[in-house]
Structure 1
Amino acid sequence: MKKQYDVIIAGAGVAGLYAALNLPGSLRVLMVCKRELTLSNSALAQGGVAAVVDTTHDNYKLHIADTLIAGGYKNNLAALEVLVKEGPGDVLHLLSLGVDFDEDSSGNIQMTLEGGHSRRRILHHKDNTGWEIVNKLIERVKALPNVDIHENAQLCSLQKAADGFWGFLFEKGEMAPVFAPYVILATGGIGRVYQYTTNSAIATGDGITFASDMGARIKNLSLVQFHPTVFATAPGGERFLISEAVRGEGAVLLNCDGERFMHRYDEREELAPRDVVSGAIMQEARRTGSDKFYLNISFKDTDYLKNRFPNIYARCLQEGVDITRDKIPIFPCQHYLMGGIDVDLHSKTTIDGLYACGECSHTGVHGLNRLASNSLLEALVFSRRAAADIARQAKPGYQPMSEPSPIRTEGIPIPSGLRTEIRDIMQSCHFVVPNPAAAREGLGRVERIRGMLSSGSFAVTPEYVEVKSLATVASIILREASGQEENRS
C-alpha cells in the first residue's frame, strides 16, 4: 500500500463503488473494504431501486409526493428534488455498466410496486437487486488503474490534519498510516448496534464515529427504521428480509388468528409505508396478546413466485417454509438509518475535505422514515455528486506536509460481552414505538461503557474500534431519543 493518495474511500457498497467510478482517472484512490468486497448492506438489498424512468405513467412530482408522505413531510426538499430528478440518469447509467434489470415480455424494463409508492417505479433484478448492482460495479472498479482496493482492511483511526487526513489501516496483522487530502465515508449503517438486524456484520457505525470524533455534525441518528416483514424465527443476530416487493405483488399480513388486520390501522393496508406497518404490527400484538404474525402470498402461481422471488423462496425453504404453500412468519426488525453524518447537496460534511454518502450520511431526503427503494438511489446520486465536487478541487499527486499523531497499538484488551450488552440495551430501549423513559435509562448504561472505552487503557484494534463505534452510536441515538439532544429537521 502507498502512503499517500488523493482520495480515500472507506466502504465498498454502492456509494463507495459508484464514487470511485465517477472520480477522474488522474486521482489516486484508495478503497478500504473491511471484509470481502461483496459484503455490504447494498449487496443485501432485495427490492430494487426507485426511479421515474417511465414518464408516461409516472412523474417527478408523484415520486417527491410519495417520499414526503413516507417521511412525515420532514424531508429536505432541496435534496429530495436532486434525488428524484437526477436519479433516473444514474439508474439508466447502470444499464450501460452491465446491470441486468428484469424486463417484461416486450423487452421493456419491468417495474414493481412497493409500500408507499403510488406508481410502479421500482427497477429490480428478481429479488437480488443489490447483489446484481454491487457485483457489476465491482467489475468496473477493479478495472480502474487509479484505484487500489484493499479488502479485509479496517480503518481504525481517522485524523484531521491541516492539509488533509491521516488514516490508520489495519491489514494483515499490521497497522500503517495513509494520507489523503479528501476522504469519502461510505461505511453504511449501524444495524449491529441492535440484537436483531437485517444488516451485514460490518454495519457497526465506524464512519459515523470517526466523523463525530473529529467534530462533524451528526443529525437525526435516532431515526432508525424497523422493517415490518423480516423472517421471525431465523437464529442469530442477522435476520433475512422479506422484501417490500412481496407485498407489492399482493402478499397480505395476517395476525395470530390468521386474519388480515392492516385495515384497522391504515387505509393503504399492506402498502402503507414501513413505519406505519411496523407500528400497526406492534399495536395488533398488544390487542391480541401475541407476537405471531405472518405474510402470505401462497395464493399466487407457484412458478411465478419461484421466478420472481428465487432468493426469498430458497432462504425460507432453508427454514422449513415453502412460500408457495406456507405462511411466512415475520416480525419488525432493525433495517435502516435515516440520520447520520450531516451533509450538503454535494455530500460535504461540516469538516473541510470530508464527504459522506450512502446510509452513513444524512442528506435529509428520507425525512422521518425512508420510502422503500430510495436508498440505492440516494447512494448513486450523492456519491456521484461527492466525486464531482472533489474533482473540481483536487490537485493530483499532492504530497502531505503534515505528520500523523501516533495511536495506541499496545494496551489491555477490551472486556468481553460489551457488544451483547449494548445490543440488549438498544433492543429494549429504542425499538418500533419510542419510549423516552427507557431511552434515558439505557443512555446511562451506554455512557458508562463509552466512558470506559475512552479511558486510554485499551489498544486500538479492529475489535476495539467496532465496540467503541457501537457505544458511540448507541449513545447518540439514546441521547436524542430521550429528549436530551433534540436534533430533528
Structure 2
Amino acid sequence: MAFKYDVLIVGSGVSGLYCALNLDENLNVAVVSKSSLDNNNTYLAQGGISTARDKDDIESFIEDTLKAGQYENKIEAVEILAKESIENIEQIVRYGMPLDKENGEIDYTREGAHSINRIVHSKDNTGEIVYKTLIKEVSKRGNISLIEDACLVDIFTEKEKCIGARFLKGDQELHIFSKVLVLATGGIGGLFKKSTNQRHLTGDGIAIALKNKIKIKNLKYIQIHPTAFYEENNKGRRMLISESLRGEGGKLLNKNKERFVDELLPRDVVSRAIFEQMKKDGSQYVYLDATHLGEEYLKNRFSFIYNECLARGTDITKELIKVSPAQHYFMGGIDVDLKSKTSMENLYAVGEVSCTGVHGANRLASNSLLEGLVFSKRAAKDINRIVGNIDIKVKNLDYIDTTVDQAIFDNINIVINEIKKTSEDFSDELFAYR
C-alpha cells in the first residue's frame, strides 16, 4: 500500500505532535506511531518542564544547562532553548495545558542542578498531561492523519534526498512518500535491561541513520537516572521516581538511614554516589525518604508516585522508598542543526532521537520536554518555508520479505553494535538483547 503526504512525522510524543501542530494547516500531514499513540516516553515524564522564569533568568538557565552538561553542550542551541522557552510554554497553555498554581501564580518547583525554582508542572504526571493536551489539539486539525502500530523499517531516498519511509503494520507493508520526513522516534531505553523507558523504544531512528550514512553524534552519552523504584527480579520497565520529589525535599539514605549525597547535584553525580553507596552497603538499592513532607502534601503533589508505589507495596507517606539507578535518557543521536535538519536533504529529527547539542554530556533535569517543544517548532517553521518548493511522486518499489519482529531485531543489532564501539563501558550484560 502506498500513500503520499506533504509531511510525514514518525513518532507521537511531544516533539512529533508539537511539530505537526506548528505546520501550516494547508499541509497534508501524517503522524505514525510504532505502538499506540500514547505509548511513548512523553507520557511517562513526571517532574515537569523547565523554563526561564523571565528575561532576567535566561543567563542563569543557560549556565545551569552548560554546567550540568559538563560544558560539552552546543552553546548556540542552549541559548535558543532558554530564550524560546517562555513562548513555547505559553503556546501549550493556550492549547489548554493546566499548570499547577499557588495563590493564582505558577508554582515553579526545583530539580537537581537548577540554581532556582523554574520547573512548571501538572502534579507529578506532567508528561501525560502534555500528551493529552497536544493530542486533543491535533484532533481538531483536519489536515493531520494518525496511524498507529506501524513499525518504521527504513527510509526511501532518491539522489541523496529523503522521499518517504517504509513501514510494517502487522503483516502489511506500507510505503509512505512525503516531501519532508521528520523522525521523532524517541530514545534507546528498550535496548537496556534496566531502563525507565517504554520497552518498544529501541533506537529505530538511530538505526535508520546508520544504514543511510546520516550523521550521528555522541552515542556514548547515555544518562542514568539516580532514582528508579527497586523491584527484585523486575525485567520490565523500571518505574521512575521523579527528581522533583528530591527537589521538594526528599532525602537519599544508606542502609543505616544516613544521608550520603547532596540530592540536588547533577544526575550523573548523584547516580555515581548511589552506585558507590550500594557497593559499600552490599545492597542492590538505597533509600529515598519523603515521609517528613507529610501525608496530605505527598498525596496531592505526588499523587502518581504515591499511587504507583502503593500498588507495589510501599506507602511513601510512612515508608522509605527503595531506589537504584537505571538508564533514562539519550543525549546523543542524529546530528541536527539549529532548525533540526539532518545531514540528508528533506529529513529532520526532533526530540530524543536527535542531537541538538543542548544537553552536552549530561541532561539537566526537565530539559527534555522543553527541547522537544522548542526544536520541533523550529523544524516546523523551516518546513513551512521550504515544503512548497519540493515535489515528489509515489513510486512502485519492491517489498521486503521480513516480519516486524525480525525488522526490529535487525535494527537493534545495528544500534547496539555502534554504541559498543564508543566505549568499553557498554558490555553485553547491560543490554536486553545480548
Scaled by the length of structure 1, what TM-score is found?
A: 0.84
Secondary structure of residue in 2 paired with 1:8: strand
- Cα distance in 1 for partners of 2:150, 2:97 equals 27
Match of 2:429 in 1: none
The answer to whether the 8 A contact 2:35-2:149 is kept is yes
Q: Given the superposition, is the C-alpha separation of residues 483 and 165 from structure 1 closer, same or farther in structure 2, using an over 3 Å criterion?
A: farther
| CA apart distance, 1:209 | 0.8
Gaps of 5+ in 1: 263-268, 410-458, 485-489
Match of 1:59 in 2: 57
Which of 382, 388, 392 is matched with 2:375 structurally?
382
- Cα distance in 2 for partners of 1:15, 1:261 equals 37
- Cα distance in 2 for partners of 1:36, 1:305 equals 31
Matched AA of 1:233: E
- Cα distance in 2 for partners of 1:65, 1:221 equals 24
Identical-residue share of aligned pairs (%): 43
Matched AA of 1:379: G
| CA apart distance, 1:399 | 4.3
Match of 2:291 in 1: 298
Match of 1:158 in 2: 155
- Cα distance in 2 for partners of 1:45, 1:281 equals 22
Tell me the alpha carbon deviations over residues 191-222 of structure 1, each in whole angstroms, 9 at most, x when there is no partner.
Answer: 01100111013311101111221111111111
1:469 paired to 2:411: yes
- Cα distance in 2 for partners of 1:236, 1:396 equals 49
The answer to whether the 8 A contact 1:166-1:404 is kept is no
Matched AA of 1:243: S
Matched AA of 2:241: I
Q: How many residues align?
A: 424
1:71 paired to 2:69: yes
Scaled by the length of structure 2, what TM-score is found?
A: 0.94
Matched AA of 2:98: D
Secondary structure of residue in 1 paired with 2:168: strand
The answer to whether the 8 A contact 2:44-2:125 is kept is yes
| CA apart distance, 1:469 | 2.3
- Cα distance in 1 for partners of 2:344, 2:400 equals 24
| CA apart distance, 1:407 | 3.9
Tell me the alpha carbon deviations over residues 127-169 of structure 1, each in whole angstroms, 9 at most, x when there is no partner.
Answer: 0000000011001112211111111222222121236423222
Matched AA of 1:465: A
- Tell me the C-alpha RMSD between the 2 structures: 1.7
| CA apart distance, 1:405 | 4.2
Match of 1:443 in 2: none
Matched AA of 1:371: L
Q: Given the superposition, is the C-alpha separation of residues 467 and 49 from structure 1 closer, same or farther in structure 2, using an over 3 Å criterion?
A: same
1:136 paired to 2:133: yes
Which of 344, 349, 372 is matched with 1:351 structurally?
344
Q: Given the superposition, is the C-alpha separation of residues 397 and 390 from structure 1 closer, same or farther in structure 2, using an over 3 Å criterion?
A: closer
Match of 2:430 in 1: none
Tell me the alpha carbon deviations over residues 38-86 of structure 1, each in whole angstroms, 9 at most, x when there is no partner.
Answer: 110011000000001345xx61111111111110010000010001101
The answer to whether the 8 A contact 1:166-1:178 is kept is yes
Match of 2:264 in 1: 271
The answer to whether the 8 A contact 1:225-1:334 is kept is yes
- Cα distance in 1 for partners of 2:37, 2:373 equals 17
The answer to whether the 8 A contact 1:6-1:396 is kept is no
Gaps of 5+ in 2: 427-434
Tell me the alpha carbon deviations over residues 249-289 of structure 1, each in whole angstroms, 9 at most, x when there is no partner.
Answer: 00000112211111xxxxxx110010000011112223333
- Cα distance in 2 for partners of 1:464, 1:360 equals 21
| CA apart distance, 1:292 | 2.9
Matched AA of 1:126: K
Match of 1:408 in 2: 400
Match of 1:91 in 2: 89
Secondary structure of residue in 2 paired with 1:322: coil
Match of 2:432 in 1: none
